[in-house]
A and B are shown apart, each in its own frame.
Chain A
């Protein structure tokens, strides 16, 4: 059975029409990646005073290095229907509120051998169970749409995947956050957390954009660490340990838009099985390993060679197309050996990201960490984290981030900061 394709049910509103009622509480967000961007916006929209600290340039950690696939969730439907369903909902929402940075052209899952072709009915059933539209393509139609893909294709299923600009998407959230009054401060390295009587009081950050690297003290009613792969380091400043593992993945871009739709292998997720067209590039991802330190992650020569081969399996022309760039990013993998799963917040959410309430877990009130997650669900992660902040501060305010069109990333840079 195939789930029907559906359009967008709601219409987005201009952000200028968004009314904000000040709540008088102040939140400090640590981390200027996608999660921090969406969280700063969400909290500002709920009326909280927001200061966001990022040690480097915004999106310079993991976020910007994403290959840019807007996941409709089909990839995850093999293993977890809830993650898949959430991904679909979020991908549609982002295509609606951030359409200016999204190439929403759809994607194909292709079977390149009999084994993969045999998985097609199961894949379509998975998608249907997760509420993700899918459509079996006639091979001649597929070949007309994507002539560069291997002639060995034995089955092709269309799903509503897309691609997005991994820098502009979070910058649109930053632009929205700033428009609603959030203070976004890059070049602030958090070096200390001030905790007294079991409550978070302030964050100490060094201002690296000044020659003297002056320390600044930011008092806050609540602190959220949205530091992704660096969340373990932030938690250690509070003397606690959280289950987060930096998991580097390598990606390879060739110059040339060889396809117009995201092409994935029709099989359970693995390495080197997604090809994403983005602007004038074609990007193959990815690999996965574990690292101690998320800093200065670089791809290995063997990863690059593997990806070149994996790309050529899908697109014969890939191997002969010059490499444009190879790079790596540290995913924030939420550790599976969490000391007490029951204490982790986020029951209503899929397991792949969670909000750890450090009051319940570690006896530090006014402090939470967002861990795990994927780029496509950044808005949902922020919603969950902002819900936790509001509940802790006894503030009544609902999430409205899915209602408004985000301003252009250009607006962020047009304001003097």
Chain B
């Protein structure tokens, strides 16, 4: 398929005609542009499979992970790629995500693998529980700090900042990523409830939310920050 991609930031703009299969992604297109006509083009990317959270950008005005944005979905449309909103723009499409990480509270990175999660990742019914598992499993991993009998997995949030980019509140707001993290933490570790509620209750916290719910629509991991902020507001009342 033939595509036209426009790369745009606050001081430059370039348009590129490309021929690529529809299953390729916007990130693949940028890789091709950088590999050919524009070797100095910079943009953040790492895993290419929606796991690292680095390649967020505004694609046709919406925050997307470029590695998951399939070109075929834009058939007949011009594609315009811009740096992620609410992040410090560098050159090209690249941003510095510092503000996102400064706002994130120190929350746990792992959770039980078979726990219900807000993520859209389906768990097969009767998914494995290892609580009653073998001596071998226990002796293998019980001696290792932080490893429990249950399988553990990484939390869903990939810290990509798409929720922040989708948020209409532009200042003095700790933002949906940080508040969602706090809400998940208090569900996971009740001993931190007071601490997390204090975090959410700060002047720049949950009460600054304007209930636009763009965060929930933008989240590639199905974490629904908007719903979590609503829950925090209930708890703060």
Contacts and interface: CB of A to CB of B under 8 A. Distances in A.
A pairs with B: yes
Interface of A: 4-8, 11, 56-60, 63-65, 68, 95-96, 99-101, 103-106, 133, 135, 137, 141, 144-148, 158, 160, 165-168, 187, 189, 206, 208-211, 213, 251, 253, 255-261, 277-281, 283, 295-296, 298, 301, 317, 324-327, 329, 408, 410, 413-417
B31 A296 contact: yes
A208 B40 CA distance: 6
Given A11-B145, A158-B137, A167-B47, 12 more contacts: A57-B42, A57-B44, A59-B52, A60-B46, A105-B141, A106-B140, A211-B12, A256-B121, A258-B124, A298-B28, A324-B50, A415-B98
Interface in B103-148: 104, 106, 109-110, 113-114, 117, 119-124, 126-128, 130, 133-134, 136-137, 139-147
A279 B117 CA distance: 11
Chain B facing A: main interface SS:
loop
A279 B49 contact: no
Nearest to A103: B153
Contacts of A63: 46
B90 interface: yes
A165 B154 contact: yes
B28 A257 contact: no
Interface residues of B, number: 76
Nearest to A6: B143
Contact of A60 (B23, B44, B106, B121): B44
A133 B140 contact: yes
B96 A417 contact: yes
B32 A256 contact: no
B141 A413 contact: no
Interface of B: 11-12, 21, 23-25, 28, 31-32, 34-35, 40, 42-54, 67-68, 90-92, 94, 96-98, 100-102, 104, 106, 109-110, 113-114, 117, 119-124, 126-128, 130, 133-134, 136-137, 139-147, 151-156, 158-159, 221
A413 B177 CA distance: 15
B46 A57 contact: yes
A16 B11 CA distance: 42
Contacts of B101: 410, 413-414
B136 A135 contact: yes
A7 B221 contact: no
B81 to A, nearest CB: 16
Given A99-B145, A106-B137, A414-B98, A324 B31 contact: no
A295 B36 CA distance: 10
Contacts of B151: 103, 105, 260-261
Contact of A7 (B44, B104, B144): B144
Contact of B35 (A135, A158, A296): A296
Contacts of B96: 417
B47 A137 contact: no
Contacts of A104: 141, 144, 147, 152
Chain A facing B: main interface SS:
loop
A256 B133 CA distance: 22
Given A5-B140, A8-B143, A210 B91 contact: yes
B122 A256 contact: yes
Nearest to B159: A410
A413 B139 contact: no
12 contacts: A11-B145, A59-B52, A64-B46, A64-B52, A64-B54, A103-B154, A104-B152, A144-B128, A148-B124, A256-B121, A258-B124, A414-B101
Nearest to A134: B136
B54 to A, nearest CB: 6
A107 to B, nearest CB: 11
A99 B146 contact: yes
B36 to A, nearest CB: 8
The 6 residue pairs across chains A and B that have the minimum distance between CB atoms: A7-B143, A64-B46, A280-B121, A167-B52, A296-B35, A325-B49
A253 B221 CA distance: 14
A158 B67 CA distance: 34
Contacts of B134: 135, 137, 141
B91 A211 contact: yes
A95 B144 contact: yes
A326 B113 CA distance: 24
Contacts of B45: 56-57, 60, 64
A96 B47 contact: no
A56 B51 contact: no
B174 to A, nearest CB: 14
A65 B48 contact: yes
Contact of B139 (A5, A325, A326): A5
Contacts of A7: 142-144
Contacts of A145: 128, 130, 133, 137
Given A57-B45, A280-B156, A100 B109 contact: yes
